[in-house]
């Protein structure tokens, strides 16, 4: 990939600047491309259409993805497939307890011939970074990764190196109860746009997996269907999706409900709501719709919010989980309708 | 960037007041946020005023207004609870329950404190006391004409009714947010007066009701804007008040129409609320119309039997009608200081004592059903062997009870009939003495000119009042007139009203009611005091009843329902009240009232197989019974009551149909608006609302937390295995209209077609019960209240 192209795409995807809409692609093109990406990924990751779609949603929304589940259900496979499907640079970091921050960001090395320090970029410098078993690394190392996720840049020895776009970290983690893990702090979990639990595939998909994977790895057969530039354009398309005041009000109402829920110790942060909105736009675009529906927000509420919420101990002892609380909130918070939407404003101006 | 999502939340959201959650735009939450303000108290006060205003219309149903303060307490107590509960938005939906509890408690406290725990918590004993009191009240109503004595059972009934009306209005106006429907509650209050009193609803009552209703409308518009208005509007926008006023005015107009059209309201065909008789259990109210019904029924049912020592028995009178101040004949109010001793009775202005009199003993037996008027001859002097409290009204020479009936009674009446001759009558003047109640001469100002013309023609040659009376009677007995029970009904002039009179004089067909009323009016026109006696002709001679009593040979008679009769009584100075018989072929013309020139028409052949009472006796022979007028037992074979019953059935049907009509009006308006390009509400929204309401009618339960897509899923489940394309079209159009950026491109016609096809599908997919419910009790009418936001 040419640096020029990459930087351009980074600019587009990262900032969603006003020119974004100019770079956005035609809806038909977007639809075709996204269908292709998902189709290719589904050939590799059997029976996980929802997870595949969500991964793409997060990618196009410019967020990072946290895959959390027991070992062996295909977390890494999903991340790798996503990377392979896109013609992007991919790096994989296997997190271990002795991994150092510089193993991620890179180091400056003294070049004897040039008599100067030279920066050797670490694995973080890629379009898609797979952080395997991120919760096995020490907190210090985790934070190095998470900082670059938030800032989209790396500072080493006083020099700041921007990360090229599209930039997406797909971290996998084992459930925190597993041995030898350092749980991610709340503040760091907040940086991930969404968390997916893959779960076991259903028996049919598992049968197909046993069939296809027995002799060769279908991942090897994957050919990229989209370039980084195209991904950038798709991201720009997502940025141009319309969000009505009603949907914004809905997001805010959901956020407030998490904050006032007696079952929750920690509700959704403003950043969480912003990411919910961006994810919603992405989901709307993937559904070939030019505007966000409350249904998009509902569908994304659990993946986007659940990993950020902390359940009160008393509620947890009665079986409440972040997911169950979100389900309850979704069933209670009224969906803003006519009165908040455009039509409602029309009605009011009578 | 989309950061502004957080920086500037949705403007409409900010208007929500507390900046809180934008959900639950329902009435309750609105009241909840306003609860600390005066809204709920103002509303309660307004409902209180409306109920009390309407209760003014009950004046005249009871003898006094002593119940008013009690009722005020009950209404206030009933309204207090919901107002308190609305302080907490969570409790608001249950406010009607609170009202119910308040209603029970305050009624218990006021009427049955002894049976209740702590004086307010009802026990089974309270319930049985209440039932007792209610049954007492029902007895009072059945045995009394309005005004009913102001007794505690009636007070209980009034208080309970008004409290219930308040409860209903509170629930309709606030909880259900259909302030206009609160009219039903007010109507409930007005009904008793409309149905039972002769004058109908008093003007203060009408004004009180109308202004109370307007007040409710205005206040509900102000504080509780309905679904069409945003609930966070601090005030009604300009124009809302106008709307409320227009609406209120049209309701008042409608009320006028209803009162004119419904039997029992104000005056008209059923001046004394014979509509009550439609149930077959009301008191005997409209004597005249009921009489016609009884006659038409040709009922063979024996209403009474009697044996008499008289050769020719007198007619038996039940009551008299003398009050013709209004448009119909009615009894005058019962004087309050009546004597309860039934011996040595003498009428207020009787015949002079010097007249020869024929003494008669009559034993009257009333089998089965009775009523509060005692059948007795005009010249009754003593009544014996009659248990119960019976009052002698000397002004009309009638005997009435407020506590007893004649049912099952067997009593002895002694009477003294003055022996009248034409000579004696010819000498008498009609000039009334001062003691004579002016009511016997009063005429309304709008007597039709035909009456005046006719009476002038008839009496131009007559000199004495008696000659004039004979001329009038002969006119009606002549061949020009014929007896017909059916003609007046068929031609629409049944009854005793003024308009009826003119029609009768033109058509010259009618029955005793028309003849007697016409003669009474004409007599007054020429200055002879008159009244109409209502009772029975002599009935059928039944020798099987003959027996010896008090050493007298008593001859037996049976009186059936078809013997019911009305006849005029005219007053002659010195002779007292003298009966006449203007009705051809009915009864017997008294000897003193016969002229040789006027042949007595042959008696109409009656279904009697036994001997008829002979005609042309010196005293009018009549028999008596009590029940034919009351209608207590013969409702089934009474065409008039059938009519009234039909009226009620229609009214009930109309009440049942009104939700259906309202719903269908809403549907039609929406569909029309969908087609209307000038409509400011987008057609997608209208179409969706209609779809949502239809689904609600068929059992969908609206949930503010449902997105349109979720709602559509539920609709689809109701629509059977395949999802109709119309539903998808409506959903997408609506989503785009509400959440989209640009204008929807869906055609209005397509939207309307889709709504119609999907709602039709809803109907076909529903069960019969579901369809009935959707038609008669459209749930969407109620839900507008609850969750108009989703």
**Mean pLDDT calculated for residue range B145-163:** 79
Judging by DSSP bridges, how do beta strands A86-87 and A226-227 pair with one another?
Answer: parallel
CB B273 within 8 A of CB B282: yes
Please tell me the distance from the alpha carbon of residue B590 to that of residue B184, in angstroms, as a whole number: 54
ipTM of the complex: 0.81
Tell which residue, A291, A309, A187, has the closest CA to residue A255.
Answer: A309
What's the average model confidence in pLDDT over B346-372? 79
- Whether B11 is in a domain gets the answer no
Least confident of B33-47, B283-297, B671-685, B751-765: B283-297
Is B268 a domain residue?
no
Averaged pLDDT for residues B356-382: 83
**Size of the A and B interface in Cβ pairs below 8 Å:** 145
The answer to whether A291 contacts B739, with C-beta atoms less than 8 Å apart, is: yes
Same domain, B135 and B207: yes
Question: DSSP assignment, residue B117?
Answer: B
Chain B: nearest CA to A16, how far in angstroms?
A: 7
Q: At B12, list the tokens.
A: 């409409």
Which among A205, A178, A204 is positioned nearest to A68, based on CA atoms?
Answer: A178
Q: Whats the size of chain A, residue-wise?
A: 350
CA B497 – CA B482 distance, rounded (Å): 20
Residues B613, B662 within the same domain: no
Pick the residue of B738, B744, B751 with the most A CBs within 10 A to test the interface with A by mutation: B738
Say what the pLDDT of residue B623 is. Answer: 32
Question: Which of A277, A278, A334 minimises the CB distance to B24?
Answer: A334
Least confidently predicted of B67-81, B258-272, B576-590: B258-272
- The answer to the question of residue B379 being in a domain is yes
The reply to whether B551 touches chain A by the CB within 8 Å rule is no
Q: How far is B33 from chain A (nearest CA, A)?
A: 17
Q: Is A336 touching B (CB cutoff 8 A)? A: yes
Q: Which residues pair with B415 in a beta bridge?
A: B360, B380
Quickly list DSSP for B452-512.
HHHHHHHHSS--SHHHHHHHHHHHHHSTT-EE-SSHHHHHT--SS-HHHHHHHHHH-EE-H
> From the list B685, B707, B789, which residue is nearest A298 (CB)?
B707
Residue B639 lies in a domain: no
pLDDT at B777: 79
CA distance A231 to B477: 111
Question: Is the pLDDT confidence value at B316 over 90?
Answer: no
Q: Tell me if B423 sits within 8 A of B591, measured CB to CB.
A: no
Cα A145 from Cα A156, distance rounded (Å): 13
| Minimal Cβ distance to B10: which of A249, A298, A348 | A249
Question: Which pLDDT tens digit goes with each residue over B614-653?
Answer: 333 333 333 333 333 333 333 334 455 556 666 666 777 7
Per residue in B245-266, pLDDT (tens digit) is: 565 565 555 555 555 544 444 3
CB contact under 8 A, A246 and B25: no
Chain A residues with CB under 8 Å of B707 CB are 293-295, 298, 335
Confidence of residue B146 (pLDDT cuts 50, 70, 90): low
pLDDT tens-digit readout, B203-218: 777 888 888 888 887 7
Q: Does residue B227 have a pLDDT over 50?
A: no
Same domain, yes or no: B432 and B336: yes
Q: What are the chain A neighbours of B1 within 8 Å (beta carbons)?
A: 16
Best B1, B3, B4, B5 member to test A by mutation, with max A CBs in 10 Å, is B5
For residue B608, the model assigns a pLDDT of 37
Whether A334 and chain B come into contact, CB under 8 Å, resolves to: yes
Burial of B621 by CB count in 10 Å (0-12 exposed, 13-18 middle, 19+ buried)? Answer: buried
Show the CA angle centred on residue B221, arms to residues B216 and B226, nearest 5°: 115
Closest Cα in chain B to A347: B681
DSSP 8-state secondary structure symbol assigned to residue B60: T
Q: Are B400 and B391 in contact (CB under 8 A)?
A: yes
Closest C-alpha among B780, B781, B762 to residue B771? B762
Query: How long a stretch of residues is chain B?
Result: 790
Cβ-Cβ contacts under 8 Å, B706 against chain A: 335
Interface of A with B in 247-266 (CB under 8 A): 247-253, 256-257
Residue B17 is assigned to a structural domain of this protein? no
Same domain, B191 and B302: no
Q: Peptide bond preceding B147: is omega within 30 degrees of 0, i.e. cis?
A: yes
Instruction: Establish how many alpha carbons lie within 13 A of residue B87's alpha carbon, considering only the half-sphere containing its beta carbon.
Output: 7
Whether residue B406 is found in the same domain as residue B502: yes
**What would the pLDDT profile of B290-310 be if each residue is shown by its tens digit?**
666 666 666 667 788 898 888
Q: Is the same domain home to B601 and B648? A: no
Sequence-ordered list of residues with C-beta below 8 angstroms from that of B705, at least 6 positions apart, any chain:
A330, A331, A332, A333, A334, A335, B23, B790
- Whether chain A has a CB inside 8 Å of the CB on B708: the answer is yes
| pLDDT bracket for residue B357 (50, 70, 90) | confident
Q: Give me the tens of pLDDT residue by residue for chain A, a chain 350 residues long.
A: 343 333 334 333 434 444 444 566 788 888 889 999 999 888 888 778 888 899 999 999 989 998 888 777 777 888 888 888 888 888 888 888 888 888 888 888 888 888 888 888 888 888 888 888 888 888 788 878 877 888 888 888 788 888 877 888 888 887 756 666 677 777 778 888 999 888 787 888 788 778 777 777 778 888 888 888 888 889 888 988 999 988 999 999 999 999 998 888 888 889 899 999 999 999 999 998 889 999 999 999 999 998 888 888 888 888 888 899 999 999 989 888 765 444 433 333 32
| Residue-averaged pLDDT of chain B | 73
Q: How many CB atoms lie within 10 A of CB B440?
A: 26
Residue B222 domain flag: yes
Q: Which of B24, B709, B739 sits opposite A247 (nearest CB)?
A: B739
CA-nearest residue to B735 within chain A is A293
Least confident of A121-135, B593-607, B699-713: B593-607
Select from A19, A242, A337, A345 the residue whose CB has the most chain B CBs within 10 Å, as the one to mutate to test that interface.
A337
User: Hey, what's the torsion of the CAs at B705, B710, B715, B716, to 10 degrees?
Assistant: -170
pLDDT digits (tens, 9 = 90+) for B712-723: 988 888 888 888
Determine the distance in angstroms separating the CA of A1 from the nearest CA of chain B, rounded to an integer.
Answer: 28
Mean pLDDT of B441-453: 81
Residue with tokens 């059923």: B270
Nearest to A347 among B1, B681, B740 (CB): B681
Say whether both B221 and B313 belong to one domain. no
As a whole number, mean pLDDT of residues B357-375 equals: 81
Q: Are B290 and B373 in contact (CB under 8 A)?
A: no
CA distance B232 to chain A (A): 10
Q: How, if at all, do strands B552-560 and B547-549 pair?
A: antiparallel
What average pLDDT does the segment B704-727 reach?
86
Q: Are A61 and A15 in contact, with CB atoms under 8 Å apart?
A: no
Q: How far is B528 from B682, CA to CA, in rounded Å?
A: 76
* B14 interfaces chain A, CB cutoff of 8 Å: no
Reported as half-sphere exposure (CB side, CA atoms, 13 A), residue B776 has a value of 11
> Do residue B616 and residue B663 come from a single domain?
no
The verdict on B490 and B441 lying in the same domain is: yes
pTM: 0.48
Rounded distance between C-alpha atoms, residue A238 and residue A63, angstroms: 12
Greatest Cα-to-Cα distance within chain A, rounded to the nearest angstrom: 78
Instruction: Cis check for the bond before A155: say yes or no (omega within 30 of 0).
Output: no
| Cα-based torsion angle of the residue sequence B603, B608, B609, B611 in order, rounded to the nearest 10 degrees | -60
Domain boundary among B208, B226, B261: B261
Specify the pLDDT at position A258. Answer: 92
Under a CB-based contact definition with an 8 Å cutoff, are residues A125 and A165 in contact? no
Beta bridge partners of B410: B365
Q: Which residue of A has its CA nearest to B739?
A: A244
* Interatomic CA distance for residues B460 and B452, integer angstroms: 12
Confidence at residue B142, expressed as pLDDT on a 0 to 100 scale: 63
Element (H or E) spanning A10, and its range?
helix A3-15
Of the partner residues B1, B707, B787, the one whose CB lies closest to the CB of residue A294 = B707
Query: Mean pLDDT, to the nearest integer, of B415-438?
Result: 78
Of the residues B582, B603, B630, which one is the last residue of a structural domain? B630
State whether B403 and B379 are in the same domain.
yes
| Residue B435 structure tokens | 């003691």
Choice among B39-48, B262-271, B465-474 with the minimum mean pLDDT: B262-271
Does the residue B22 lie in any domain?
no
Residue pair B167/B100 in contact (Cβ under 8 Å)? The answer is yes
What pLDDT is attached to residue B247? 57
Same domain, B44 and B120: yes
Q: Do B486 and B378 lie in a common domain?
A: yes
Residue B179 confidence (pLDDT) above 80:
no
Q: How many CA atoms lie within 13 A of B189 on its CB side?
A: 35
What one-character-per-residue DSSP string does B4-50 give? HHHHS--HHHHTTSSS--S---SHHHHHHHHTTSSHHHHHHHHHHHH
* Token digits of residue A291: 């505007």
CA atoms of B484 and B501, how far apart (whole Å): 15
Cα–Cα distances (Å) from A39 to A47, A78, A335, in that order, read: 12, 13, 33
Contacts with B, A 53-82, CB within 8 Å: none
Last residue of a domain, one of B597, B630, B663: B630
Tens digit of pLDDT for each residue in B655-698?
777 778 888 888 888 888 888 888 778 888 888 888 888 888 88
Q: Is B682 on the interface with A (CB under 8 A)?
A: yes
Tell me the C-alpha distance between B632 and B371, whole Å: 8
The predicted pLDDT at position B744 comes to: 66
Which chain A residues are within 8 Å of B23, Cβ to Cβ?
Answer: 253, 332-336
Name residues 294-333 of chain A within 8 A of B (Cβ).
Answer: 294-295, 298, 330-333
Identify which of B680, B705, B735 has the shortest CB distance to residue A334: B705
C-alpha–C-alpha distance, residues B24 and A215, integer Å: 58
Q: How far off is chain A from B231, nearest CA to CA, in Å?
A: 10
Q: Name, in order, each residue with C-beta under 8 angstroms of B315's C-beta and a sequence gap of 6 or more.
A: B377, B378, B533, B535, B536, B537, B538, B565, B567, B579, B587, B620, B621, B622, B623, B624
Of A270-279, B172-181, B574-583, which has the strongest mean pLDDT?
Answer: A270-279
Number of domains in chain B: 3
The domain in which residue B767 lies consists of: 644-786
Give the per-residue pLDDT at A252.
93
Please give the domain boundaries of chain A with CATH numbers for all domains.
20-200 (3.40.50.300), 241-345 (1.10.8.80)
Alpha-carbon dihedral sign for residues A8, A10, A16, A17: negative
User: Which CATH number covers residue B540?
Assistant: 3.10.620.30
Q: Could you please report the per-residue DSSP string of A254-294?
A: HHHHHHH-TTEEE---HHHHHHHHHHHHHHHHHTT-SB--H
Which pLDDT belongs to residue B228? Answer: 37
Structural domain contains residue B75: yes
Query: For position B431, what pLDDT does the model report?
Result: 66
């Amino acid at each position: 990939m040419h640096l020029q192209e990459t930087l351009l795409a980074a600019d587009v995807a990262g900032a969603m600047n006003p020119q974004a809409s100019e770079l956005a692609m035609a809806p038909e093109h977007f639809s075709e491309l996204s269908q292709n990406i998902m189709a290719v990924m589904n050939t590799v990751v059997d029976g996980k259409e929802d997870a595949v779609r969500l991964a793409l949603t997060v990618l196009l929304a410019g967020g990072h993805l946290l895959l959390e589940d027991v070992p062996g259900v295909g977390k890494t496979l999903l991340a790798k497939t996503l990377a392979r499907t896109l013609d992007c640079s991919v790096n994989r970091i296997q997190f271990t307890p002795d991994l150092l921050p510089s193993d991620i960001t890179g180091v400056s090395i003294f070049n004897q011939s040039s008599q100067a320090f030279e920066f050797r970029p670490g694995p973080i410098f890629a379009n898609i970074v797979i952080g395997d078993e991120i919760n096995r690394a020490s907190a210090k190392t985790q934070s190095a990764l998470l900082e670059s996720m938030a800032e989209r840049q790396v500072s080493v020895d006083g020099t700041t190196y921007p990360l090229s776009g599209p930039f997406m970290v797909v971290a996998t983690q084992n459930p925190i109860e597993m041995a030898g893990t350092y749980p991610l702090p709340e503040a760091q979990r907040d940086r991930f746009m969404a968390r997916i639990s893959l779960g076991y595939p259903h028996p049919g998909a598992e049968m197909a997996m046993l069939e296809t994977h027995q002799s060769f790895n279908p991942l090897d057969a994957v050919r990229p269907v989209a370039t980084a530039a195209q991904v950038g354009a798709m991201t720009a398309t997502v940025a141009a999706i319309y969000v009505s005041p009603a949907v914004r009000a809905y997001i805010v109402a959901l956020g407030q409900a998490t904050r006032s829920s007696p079952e929750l110790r920690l509700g959704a942060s403003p950043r969480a709501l912003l990411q919910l909105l961006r994810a919603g736009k992405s989901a709307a675009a993937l559904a070939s719709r030019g505007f966000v529906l409350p249904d998009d927000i509902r569908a994304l509420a659990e993946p986007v919010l659940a990993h950020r919420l902390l359940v009160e101990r008393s509620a947890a002892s009665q079986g409440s989980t972040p997911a169950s609380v979100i389900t309850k909130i979704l069933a209670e918070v009224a969906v803003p309708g006519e009165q908040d939407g455009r039509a409602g404003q029309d009605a009011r101006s009578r | 960037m989309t950061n502004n999502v957080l920086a500037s939340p949705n403007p409409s959201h900010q208007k929500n007041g507390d900046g809180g959650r934008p959900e639950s735009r329902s009435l309750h939450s609105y009241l909840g946020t306003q609860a600390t303000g005066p809204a709920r108290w103002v509303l309660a006060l307004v409902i209180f005023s409306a109920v009390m205003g309407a209760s003014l219309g009950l004046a005249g149903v009871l003898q006094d207004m002593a119940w008013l303060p009690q009722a005020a307490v009950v209404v206030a107590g009933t309204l207090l609870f919901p107002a308190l509960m609305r302080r907490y938005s969570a409790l608001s939906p249950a406010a009607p329950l609170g009202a119910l509890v308040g209603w029970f408690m305050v009624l218990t406290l006021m009427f049955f404190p002894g049976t209740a725990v702590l004086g307010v918590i009802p026990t089974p004993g309270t319930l049985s006391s209440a039932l007792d009191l209610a049954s007492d009240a029902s007895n009072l109503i059945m045995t009394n004409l309005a005004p009913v004595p102001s007794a505690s059972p009636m007070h209980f009934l009034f208080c309970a009714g008004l409290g219930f009306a308040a409860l209903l209005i509170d629930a309709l106006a606030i909880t259900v947010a259909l302030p206009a429907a609160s009219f039903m509650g007010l109507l409930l209050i007005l009904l008793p007066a409309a149905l039972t009193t002769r004058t109908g609803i008093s003007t203060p009552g009408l004004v009180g009701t109308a202004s109370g209703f307007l007040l409710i409308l205005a206040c509900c518009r102000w504080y509780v804007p309905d679904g069409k208005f945003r609930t966070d509007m601090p005030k009604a926008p300009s124009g809302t008040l106008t709307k409320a006023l227009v609406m209120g005015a049209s309701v008042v107009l409608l009320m006028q129409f209803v009162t004119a059209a419904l039997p029992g309201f104000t005056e008209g065909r059923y001046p004394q609320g014979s509509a009550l008789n439609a149930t077959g259990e009301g008191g005997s109210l409209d004597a005249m119309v009921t009489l016609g019904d009884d006659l038409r029924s040709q009922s063979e049912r024996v209403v009474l039997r009697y044996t008499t020592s008289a050769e020719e028995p007198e007619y038996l009178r039940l009551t008299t009608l003398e009050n013709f101040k209004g448009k119909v004949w009615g009894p005058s109010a019962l004087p309050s200081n009546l004597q309860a001793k039934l011996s040595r009775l003498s009428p207020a202005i009787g015949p002079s004592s010097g007249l020869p009199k024929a003494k008669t003993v009559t034993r009257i037996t009333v089998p089965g059903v009775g009523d509060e008027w005692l059948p007795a001859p005009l010249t009754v002097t003593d009544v014996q062997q009659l248990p119960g409290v019976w009052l002698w009204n000397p002004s009309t020479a009638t005997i009435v009870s407020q506590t007893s009936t004649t049912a099952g009674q067997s009593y002895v009446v002694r009477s003294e009939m003055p022996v009248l001759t034409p000579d004696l009558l010819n000498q008498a003047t009609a000039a009334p003495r001062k003691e004579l109640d002016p009511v016997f001469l009063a005429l309304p100002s709008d007597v039709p000119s035909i009456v005046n013309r006719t009476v002038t023609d008839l009496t131009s040659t007559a000199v004495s009042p008696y000659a004039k009376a004979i001329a009038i009677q002969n006119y009606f007995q002549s061949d020009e007139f014929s007896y017909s029970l059916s003609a007046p009904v068929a031609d629409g002039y049944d009854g005793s009203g003024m308009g009826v009179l003119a029609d009768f004089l033109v058509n010259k067909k009618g029955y005793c009611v028309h003849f007697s009323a016409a003669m009474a009016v004409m007599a007054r026109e020429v200055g002879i005091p008159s009244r109409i006696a209502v009772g029975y002709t002599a009935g059928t001679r039944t020798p099987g009843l003959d027996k010896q009593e008090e050493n007298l040979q008593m001859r037996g008679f049976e009186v059936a329902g078809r013997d019911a009769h009305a006849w005029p009584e005219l007053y002659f100075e010195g002779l007292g009240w003298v009966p006449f018989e203007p009705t051809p072929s009915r009864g017997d013309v008294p000897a003193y009232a016969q002229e040789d020139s006027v042949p007595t028409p042959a008696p109409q052949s009656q279904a009697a197989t036994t001997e008829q009472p002979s005609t042309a006796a010196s005293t009018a022979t009549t028999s008596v019974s009590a029940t034919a007028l009351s209608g207590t037992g013969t409702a089934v074979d009474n065409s008039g009551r059938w009519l009234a019953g039909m009226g009620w059935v229609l009214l009930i049907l109309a009440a049942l149909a009104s939700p259906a009509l309202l719903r269908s009006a809403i549907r039609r308006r929406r569909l029309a608006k969908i087609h209307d390009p000038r409509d400011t509400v987008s057609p997608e929204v209208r179409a969706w609302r209609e779809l949502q309401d239809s689904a609600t009618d068929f059992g969908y339960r609206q949930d503010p937390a449902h997105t349109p897509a979720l709602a559509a899923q539920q609709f689809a489940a109701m629509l059977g295995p395949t999802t109709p394309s119309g539903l998808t079209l409506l959903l997408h159009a609506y989503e785009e209209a509400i959440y989209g950026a640009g204008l929807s491109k869906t055609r209005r016609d397509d939207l309307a077609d889709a709504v119609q096809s999907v709602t039709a599908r809803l109907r076909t997919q529903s069960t019969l019960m579901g369809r009935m419910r959707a038609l008669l009790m459209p749930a969407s009418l109620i839900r507008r209240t609850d969750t108009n936001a989703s």
